């Protein structure tokens, strides 16, 4: 059942709502517009606030649903939930339905980590939101969220599997945000609310 849960979590993660909204609303492949990322921030840039908020909520929901799959299938322990959490983020980042070219997994990460470790995720989320509000750099807030999660989980003495998955997810996030990190260092990163890209 763990294997089935992990496969289902990956398939759920592979549903790219940003791509689907781009097709439905404008007949475009959103990965060829704006930043080229299939995520909520680029959806905001290309499609507007309504679709972006919807994509954000749906991507968060993917993470929550994936972590609950093992519970619904009657499995005990942290490991099945952790593995499903990893699988859904892998699916979002490298979706089988869309040529393995997806988003950066932050919204799904929020869903996964808020389910596995609510209080650490809440505190890291507050810091991320404040940073985004002050700087308007979504990428910076996202990276801070994933960076703080392992630290807070360690300090709050959460189970080892949850600590390990938070570290792995942080690595995912930093790898997927390589270009954003380079732009931040050069002062060239796009800010939240910047003019829509063509």
DSSP state of 33: S
Q: What's the rounded Cα separation, in Å, for the pair 5 and 1?
A: 6
The number of CA neighbours under 13 Å toward the Cβ of 173 is 25
Query: Residue 5 has what pLDDT?
Result: 95
Mean pLDDT to the nearest integer, 112-125: 96
CA distances, 185 to each of 74, 77, 181 (Å): 47, 41, 6
Q: What's the rounded Cα separation, in Å, for the pair 146 and 128?
A: 9
Q: What is the pTM of this model?
A: 0.90
Check whether 198 has a pLDDT greater than 90: no
Mean pLDDT to the nearest integer, 37-54: 93
- pLDDT tens-digit readout, 78-102: 899 999 999 999 999 999 999 999 9
Q: What's the rounded Cα separation, in Å, for the pair 16 and 64?
A: 16
Q: How many CB atoms lie within 10 A of CB 198?
A: 6
How remote is the C-alpha of 56 from its chain's centroid? 9
Count of residues making up the chain: 198
Mean pLDDT to the nearest integer, 34-49: 91
Find where tokens 């972006």 sit. Answer: 52
What percent of the chain has a predicted confidence (pLDDT) above 70? 97
Candidates 173, 75, 158; CA nearest to 115 is: 158
Mean pLDDT to the nearest integer, 151-159: 95
Q: What's the rounded Cα separation, in Å, for the pair 59 and 90?
A: 13
Mean pLDDT to the nearest integer, 133-160: 95
């Amino acid at each position: 059942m763990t294997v089935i849960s992990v496969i289902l979590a990956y398939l759920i993660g592979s549903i790219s709502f940003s791509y689907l909204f781009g097709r439905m609303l404008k007949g475009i492949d959103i990965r060829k517009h704006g930043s080229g990322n299939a995520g909520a921030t680029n959806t905001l840039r290309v499609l507007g606030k309504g679709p972006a908020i919807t994509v954000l909520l749906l991507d968060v929901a993917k993470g929550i649903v994936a972590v609950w799959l093992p519970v619904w299938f009657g499995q005990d322990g942290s490991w099945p939930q952790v593995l499903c959490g990893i699988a859904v983020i892998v699916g979002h980042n490298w979706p089988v339905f869309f040529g393995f070219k997806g988003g950066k997994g932050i919204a799904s990460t929020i869903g996964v980590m808020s389910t596995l470790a609510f209080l650490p995720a809440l505190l890291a989320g507050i810091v991320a939101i404040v940073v985004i509000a002050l700087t308007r750099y979504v990428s910076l807030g996202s990276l801070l969220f994933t960076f703080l999660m392992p630290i807070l989980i360690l300090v709050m003495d959460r189970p080892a599997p949850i600590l390990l998955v938070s570290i792995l997810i942080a690595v995912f996030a930093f790898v997927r945000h390589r270009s954003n990190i380079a732009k931040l260092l050069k002062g060239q990163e796009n800010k939240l609310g910047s003019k829509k890209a063509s």
